[in-house]
Chain A
Amino acid sequence: MAWFKKVRKPIEPPPDKSRVPEGLWVKCPACGQAIYNKDLAASLNVCAKCGHHLRLSATERLRTLFDGEWVEHDSGLASTDPLQFTDTKPYRTRLDASIIATGLKDAVITATGRIGGVECAVAAMEYGFIGGSMGVVVGEKITRVIERAIAARIPVVIVSCSGGARMMEGTLSLMQMAKISAALARLDRARLPYISILTDPTTGGVTASFAMLGDVNIAEPRALIGFAGPRVIEQTIRQKLPEGFQRSEFLVEHGMLDLVVDRRELKDVLVRVLRFGGAGLAAPEPAPAVAEPQPPSEAPA
Chain B
Amino acid sequence: MPADLLEFEEPVGVLLKEIEALSMLPRTPERERSIETLRSRADEIRTEIFANLTAWQRVLVARHPNRPNTLDYVERLFTGWDELHGDRRFADDHAIVCGTAEYRGRPVAIVGHQKGRDTKQKIFRNFGYARPEGYRKALRVMQMAQKFGRPILVFIDTPAAYPGVESEERGVAEAIAFNLREMMMLEVPIIVTVCGEGGSGGALGIAIGDRVLMQEFSVYSVIPPEGCAAILWRDSNRKVEAAEALRITAPDLMALGLIDGIVPEPSGGAHNDYDTASALVDQAISASLDEVSALSVPERLDARYEKFRRMGEEGLGFMDLDKPEPPQAP
Contact = CB atoms under 8 A, between A and B. Distances in A.
Interface of A: 8-11, 63, 66, 68-73, 75-83, 85-88, 99, 105, 111, 135-137, 139-140, 143, 165-179, 181-186, 188-189, 204-205, 207-213, 226-228, 232-233, 236-237, 241, 245-246, 254-256
A73 B177 contact: no
Contact of A72 (B258, B315, B328): B328
Interface of B: 161-165, 167-174, 176-178, 180-182, 184-185, 200-201, 204-205, 208, 220-223, 227-228, 231-235, 241-242, 245-248, 253, 256, 258, 304-305, 308-309, 311-321, 323, 325, 327-330
A75 B223 CA distance: 28
Nearest to A74: B325
B222 A165 contact: yes
Nearest to A143: B309
A139 B308 CA distance: 11
A77 B315 CA distance: 10
A228 B168 contact: yes
A72 B320 CA distance: 13
Contact of A87 (B169, B176, B233, B313): B233
B312 A182 contact: no
A105 B320 contact: yes
A227 B316 contact: no
B221 A170 contact: yes
Shortest 10 CB-CB distances between A and B: which pairs? A76-B320, A136-B312, A228-B163, A82-B315, A181-B180, A136-B315, A87-B232, A227-B173, A207-B173, A175-B311
A237 B311 contact: no
B123 to A, nearest CB: 14
Contacts of A78: 316-320
B185 A207 contact: no
A73 B165 CA distance: 39
Contact of B253 (A143, A171, A211): A171
B325 A77 contact: no
B204 A178 contact: yes
A85 B228 CA distance: 12
A191 to B, nearest CB: 14
Given A85-B245, A184-B181, A233-B165, 10 more contacts: A71-B327, A83-B247, A105-B319, A167-B228, A173-B222, A176-B311, A178-B208, A179-B311, A182-B305, A189-B185
A255 B171 CA distance: 8
Given A82-B315, A174-B201, A178-B308, A210 B247 contact: no
Given A88-B232, A171-B220, A171-B221, A210 B246 contact: no
A82 B258 CA distance: 13
A179 B312 contact: yes
